[in-house]
Amino acid sequence: MYREIEKYLAEWKVSSYRKPLIIRGARQVGKTYTIEKFARENFRYFLRINLEQERNIQNVFESLQPQLIINELTALYQIPIIEGDTLLFIDEIQVSPKAIVALRYFYEQNPGLHIISAGSLLDISLNEMKYPMPVGRVDFAFMYPMSFYEFLGALDENGLVNAIHEFAPTEAFSLAIHNRILELLRLYFFIGGMPEAVQYYLNEKNLSGIERIHSGLIQSIQFDFAKYGTRKQQEHLKDVLHYVANNIGKKVKYSNITSGVHSSLLKDAFIKLEMTRIIHLVRHTRSATVPITQLQEKDVFKPVFLDIGMLNHLAGIKLQDLDMLITAFEGTLAEQFVFQEFIAGSKPYLEKNLNYWVREAKNSNAEIDCLFQIGNSVFPVEIKAGKRGTLRSLHVFLAEKNKKTGIRLNLDIPSTGKELQASVNLPDKELLSYNLVSLPLYFAGRLEEMESFLL
C-alpha cells in the first residue's frame, strides 16, 4: 500500500542536507512496513535492528563510536553497511537512549550513511531522556494512520483521487463522482486507516473481521500502558481513553471522567496519550491571526482519537448498514474524520497544531470547530455531518474578528458564495457580508492547497 510519506523519504535519501531520520508515530500505523518497502525499492542492502526484541544488541551502542558500531553490526548480521548502498533501520529505538545519542555521532562522523529509526513510545522516551538529545543532528518525520486519499489509492480508486486533487472550487463537480466518494467515505468511517484493517479488507473484500482487528489494536495500546507508570496511572490512562471515545470534539471536563481523582492526574494521562499519538488535543485559542498559538490556552482542549475505525469500536458503534453509519454517530464521526485528515495531510516534517475558538457572551455564545491556518491566514472551519446546518457561530466569528471568508465542510457537493448577508447580534454590528466556501468532508485533506482561491 502506497503511503504519502514515501515521497518525503525519497527526497530525504538524495538530500545533501540529510541527517539520521527519526520517524515518530503511534503503534501499528505502518512505520516498519513503509520503511522496509522504501529500503527494498531504493537500496542494495537493508539492515533492520529491533532493539525491543533483540535486547542484547543495545550493548553495541554503548561505545557511541559509529565505526565501531558499524563493525559490530556487520559481524553480527553479516550484512554490509556501506554508505549509499545500505539503509540501517533501528526499530524501537526508544528502549535504548544510548542508540538515540549515537545518531549525533553518525551524523558528524558518517554523514553519508542512511539511517532511519522509529519507535511507538518514542516521544515519551525523548521527553524523559537523561542524556542530551542530538539537537540539530537528526531529522524528524511524523506518521499517522492512512488518510482517506491513501485509502482510496489502496482500493485502486485513483480516478477518484485525481478528481479530488484536480478540482478547482470555481468549477462544477460531478454528482456521480461525489456520490461514489461518499459511499467509500462511509466505508472508511468503519474500516479506518490502520493498515492492518485496510489490508484485511483488500484481501477478503468483506467487513466481518474488521471488528476483531480493531479490538486487537486497542488491546495492544492498553497493553503498552504497563510501560507508562504505576498501576494507578495505567487505570487513569484507560479511563481517559474510554472518555475520549465518547467525547470527541467536546471540551474536556475532568469531573466527568473519574470521580475522586485529582484533575492533575487525569491531565497527565491526557498528555501521555497525546505524546504517544493515541489521541490528539485540539486546544482553545483566542487568536484569529498568525501565530495562531499566541493566545492559545493549553489547558483548555477537546480530544480526537488516533483512528476513526478504532473509535467506532471503542465507542461500541456496530456496523448495521453502511448507508446509515454516518447518521448513527454523525457529529462525532464527521469531526473525527476532518481532524484526522488535517493531521494526516500535514507535511511529514511538521507536527500539526490543532485549534478551536469559543466565544462566551450573553446572547451571543459561539464555537468554531477549528481554526485552520493556510499560508499566513487563519480561516474558521465549521464541520457538519449532513448537507444543511446553521452557520450562526461562523457569522459571529467573522463579524467579531473582521474576517471575510469562512469554510464549511459537509456532505453536499462543492459550492461557493460571494457577498452573502447574515444578521449578527454583536455590538455595533448587525449585518455581516461574507464569503463562504462549502466543500465535502473528503476535501479536508486538500484545504492547504486552496490558498490562492481562499485569499
Does residue 382 sit within a domain?
A: no
| Paired residues of 118 in beta bridges | 23, 91
- Among 55-59, 167-171, 209-213, 263-267, which is the least confidently predicted range? 167-171
pLDDT above 70: residue 131: no
Please list, in sequence order, all residues whose beta carbon lies within 8 angstroms of the beta carbon of residue 211, skipping any fewer than 6 positions away: 313, 319
Amino acid at 16: S
128 with 24, same domain: the answer is yes
DSSP state of 111: T
Q: Give the Cβ contact number of residue 125 at 10 Å.
A: 18
Burial track 201-238 (b if 16+ CB lie within 10 A, e otherwise): beeeeeeeebbebbeebbeebeebbeebeeeeebebbe
- Residue 229: the pLDDT is 75
Residue numbers of the domain that contains 164: 148-271+307-329
State the pLDDT at residue 330.
Answer: 82
**For residue 326, pLDDT beyond 60:** no
Distances (CA, A) of 352 to 89, 118, 256, 374, 439: 25, 19, 28, 12, 21
Could you tell me if 153 and 106 lie in one domain?
no
pLDDT for residue 45:
98
pLDDT at 392 over 80: yes
Give dist(CA 438, CA 451) in Å, integer: 15
Residue 77 maps to a domain: yes
Confidence check: pLDDT of 170 > 80: no
Judged against a pLDDT cut of 60, whether residue 78 lies above it is answered with: yes
Distance CA 286, CA 219 (A): 38
Contact 338, 320 (CB under 8 A): no
**Is pLDDT at 320 greater than 60 in this prediction?**
no
Average pLDDT, the chain: 91
**What is the mean pLDDT of the segment spanning 101-122?**
93
Place of cell 545533501: 16
Instruction: Encode pLDDT of 279-309 as tens digits.
Output: 999 999 999 999 998 899 999 999 999 999 9
**What separation, in Å, do the N-terminal and C-terminal C-alpha atoms of the chain show?**
35
Give the bridge partners for 378, in sequence order: 373
CA distances from 223 to 26, 218, 237, 273, 318 (A): 13, 9, 11, 13, 24
Note whether residue 442 is domain-resident.
no
Judge if 129 and 171 occupy the same domain. Answer: no
> What is the DSSP track for 356-419?
EEEE--TT--EEESEEEEETTEEEEEEE-SSS----HHHHHHHHHTT--EEEEEESSPPEEEEE
Are residue 87 and residue 174 in the same domain, yes or no?
no
Q: Please, which pLDDT band fits residue 132 given cuts at 50, 70 and 90?
A: low
Could you tell me if 40 and 152 lie in one domain? Answer: no
pLDDT over threshold 90, residue 261: yes
Phi, psi of 279 (to 5 degrees): -130, 165
Residue 394 lies in a domain: no
Residues 69 and 87 occupy one common structural domain: yes
> What's the pLDDT at 420?
94
- pLDDT digits over 367-380, tens only? 999 999 998 999 99
* Contact status, residue 129 vs residue 97, Cβ threshold 8 Å: yes
* Residues 307-335, mean pLDDT to the nearest whole number: 76
Residue 306, amino acid: L
Among 129-133, 172-176, 207-211, which is the least confidently predicted range?
Answer: 129-133
Cα gap 55→39, rounded to integer Å = 24
- Answer whether 72's CB lies under 8 Å from 101's CB: no
Q: Which of 223, 269, 228, 311 is nearest to 27 (CA)?
A: 223
- Rounded to an integer, the average pLDDT of 432-444 is 94
Together in a domain, 70 and 162: no
Do residues 98 and 175 share a domain? no
101 and 184 co-located in one domain: no
What is residue 157's three-state secondary structure?
Answer: coil
pLDDT digits (tens, 9 = 90+) for 84-103: 999 999 999 988 989 999 99
pLDDT of 323 reads 57
Q: Are residues 27 and 115 in the same domain?
A: yes
CA 164 to chain centre: 20
CATH number where 36 lies: 3.40.50.300
Does 373 fall in a domain? no
Region 175-201: mean pLDDT is: 96
What's the pLDDT tens digit per position in 357-370? 998 877 678 999 99
Pairwise CA distance, residues 445 & 164, whole Å: 10
Of the three residues 101, 123, 142, the one that is the final residue of a domain is 142
User: 171 and 128: one domain?
Assistant: no
The answer to whether residue 316 sits within a structural domain is yes
Which residue carries 474488521 as its cell? 210
| Dihedral sign for Cα atoms in the order 63, 65, 66, 72 | negative
| Burial class of residue 182 in the structure, from the number of CB atoms within 10 Å of its CB (0-12 exposed, 13-18 middle, 19+ buried) | middle
CB 220 within 8 A of CB 212: no
Residue 346 lies inside a defined structural domain of this protein: no
Name the domain count of the chain.
Answer: 2
Q: 294 with 133: CB under 8 angstroms?
A: no
Count CB-CB contacts under 10 A for residue 39.
21
Cell digits of residue 392: 450562526
Q: Which of 142, 167, 187 is the last residue of a domain?
A: 142
Where do we find the cell 476532518? 338
Cell (9 digits) for 136: 540539530
The whole-angstrom separation of Cα 134 and Cα 140 is: 11
pLDDT at 309: 95
378 and 287 Cβ atoms separated by less than 8 Å: yes
* Biggest CA pair distance of the chain: 77
Shared domain for 161 and 125, answered yes or no, is: no
Which of 248, 48, 275 lies closest to 142, judged by CA?
275
Give pLDDT tens digits for 399-418.
999 999 999 999 999 999 99
For the record, the C-alpha cell of 107 comes out as: 551524523
Domain-located, residue 106: yes
- State how far the alpha carbon of 146 is from the alpha carbons of 100, 171, 192, 311, 433, in Å: 27, 28, 8, 15, 39
Instruction: Report how far residue 111's alpha carbon sits from residue 44's, in angstroms, rounded to the nearest whole number.
Output: 18
